């Protein structure tokens, strides 16, 4: 990993000759040293995807002008959709929790040990249970009760809070409320959920019960971006573990916890590292 500030550019567009040369030449001719380049062409729908990162030390274009220059000189010509990030910008994450604590503890331990390159200024919950464990790390904890009747107004409060803390993305760490479409629209591809099944199997509630009843031999966990349709957003990470007839629903819940926390943490890491592009409800994950 580089110590310097670097630029990370995510691009997708219709595939066409000359794109790679145009992009790399933009960087090279302005004195940028390419640290990472990965590209992918989806041949079925002829879409070109790229993640490219370069060292900004000695780069001829100043940081706040790069987006404009790249748009003018390259992106517009090839009708590219782009996202530009800088490695020095630390994303600010809001952690949403309910009562279950395994993903919460896992993410906070990664945060506290410096493994996760984010700021976590705020934890939001609909219960009081995890206040102590949050506040002892110096993180603010806001308990906002949600029920059928007050959802709209409570989500308004949340949005105000997120704005106040300048939050750039949200992680639902087994948060047991369904977000409204309206709320989701404020954070497109910026809300990461962990669902405790290998989606699209067992969406919705009580997936371990359903898995047990169906008699599956594997259980899974899926992290995905939240969209308007429940558990149907673009999948970021999935993993599974083998179970057997010996495992009760309680065993599955226990075994699943370890899966959920690992799968969610991987997804958060990908998001924070700007490894993810979404196209037609599928993710491209650059590694």
Active site (catalytic) residues: 231
**Is residue 230 near a second copy by the rule CB under 8 A?**
no
Q: Cβ contacts of residue 24 below 8 Å, gap of 6+?
A: 34, 37, 52
Residue 260 tokens read as 């959920």
- Secondary structure element (H or E) that encloses residue 236, with its range: strand 235-242
Q: Is 68 in the site for a second copy (CB under 8 A)?
A: no
- Contacting residue, 3, 147, 149, 245, with a second copy by CB under 8 A: 245
Stretch that binds a second copy, among 26-34, 79-87, 117-125, 183-191 (CB under 8 A): 26-34
CB–CB of 182/161 below 8 Å? Answer: no
Stretch 195-224: interaction string toward a second copy, x if CB under 8 A: ---xxxxx----------xxxxxx-x----
138: contact with a second copy by CB under 8 A: no
DSSP 8-class letter at 86: E
Helices 102-112 and 249-272, axial angle in degrees (round to 10): 40
Q: Which of residues 75-134 bind a second copy (CB under 8 A)?
A: 101-102, 105-106, 109, 112-113, 115, 133
Instruction: Verify binding: residue 64, a second copy, rule CB under 8 A.
Output: no
How near is the Cβ of 196 to a second copy at its closest, in Å? 14
Return the bridge partners of 92, or none.
119
Distance CA 50, CA 70 (A): 14
Residue 234 Cβ, how far from a second copy at the closest point, in Å?
6
CB 245 within 8 A of CB 257: no
Q: Can you spell out the DSSP letters for 110-160?
A: HHHTT-S--EEEEEEESSSTTHHHHHTTT-EEEE----TTTHHHHHHHHHH
Task: Give the nearer residue to a second copy in terms of CB position, either 164 or 281.
Answer: 281
Q: Pick the piece of the chain touching a second copy (CB under 8 A) from 6-14, 66-74, 117-125, 251-259.
A: 251-259
β partners of residue 34: 54
Number of residues that bind a second copy (CB under 8 A): 69
x/- track of binding to a second copy for residues 255-274 (CB under 8 A): --xx---x--x---------
**Contact window for a second copy (CB under 8 A) among 66-74, 153-161, 165-173, 194-202:** 194-202
Sign of the alpha-carbon torsion through 165, 171, 175, 177: positive
Residue 35, interface with a second copy (CB under 8 A)?
A: yes
The binding site for a second copy (CB under 8 A) comprises: 1, 17-18, 20-21, 24-25, 28-29, 33-44, 49, 101-102, 105-106, 109, 112-113, 115, 133, 136, 198-202, 213-218, 220, 234-240, 242, 244-246, 248-250, 254, 257-258, 262, 265, 281-285, 287
């Amino acid at each position: 990993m580089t110590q310097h500030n670097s630029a990370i550019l995510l691009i997708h567009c219709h595939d066409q000759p000359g794109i790679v040369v145009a992009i790399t030449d933009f960087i090279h001719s302005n004195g940028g040293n390419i640290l990472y380049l990965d590209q992918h062409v989806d041949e079925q729908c002829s879409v070109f995807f790229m993640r490219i990162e370069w060292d900004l030390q000695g780069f001829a274009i100043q940081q706040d002008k790069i987006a404009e220059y790249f748009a003018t000189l390259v992106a517009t010509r090839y009708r590219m959709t782009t996202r530009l990030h800088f490695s020095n910008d630390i994303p600010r994450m809001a952690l949403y929790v309910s009562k279950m604590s395994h993903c919460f503890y896992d993410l906070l331990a990664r945060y506290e040990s410096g493994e996760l390159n984010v700021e976590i200024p705020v934890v939001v919950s609909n219960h009081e249970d995890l206040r102590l464990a949050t506040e002892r790390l110096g993180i603010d904890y806001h308990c906002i009760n949600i029920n059928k009747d007050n959802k709209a107004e409570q989500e308004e409060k949340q949005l105000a809070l997120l704005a106040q803390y300048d939050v750039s993305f949200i992680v639902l760490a087994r948060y047991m409320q369904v977000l409204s479409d309206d709320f989701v629209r404020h954070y497109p591809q910026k809300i990461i959920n962990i669902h405790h099944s290998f989606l699209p199997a067992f969406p919705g509630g009580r997936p371990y019960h359903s898995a047990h009843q169906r008699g599956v031999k594997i259980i899974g966990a899926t992290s995905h971006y939240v969209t308007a349709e429940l558990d149907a957003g673009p999948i970021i990470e999935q993993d599974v573990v083998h179970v057997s007839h010996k495992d009760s629903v309680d065993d599955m819940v226990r075994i699943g916890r370890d899966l959920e926390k690992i799968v969610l943490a991987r997804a958060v890491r990908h998001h924070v590292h700007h490894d993810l592009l979404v196209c037609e409800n599928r993710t491209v994950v650059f590694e």
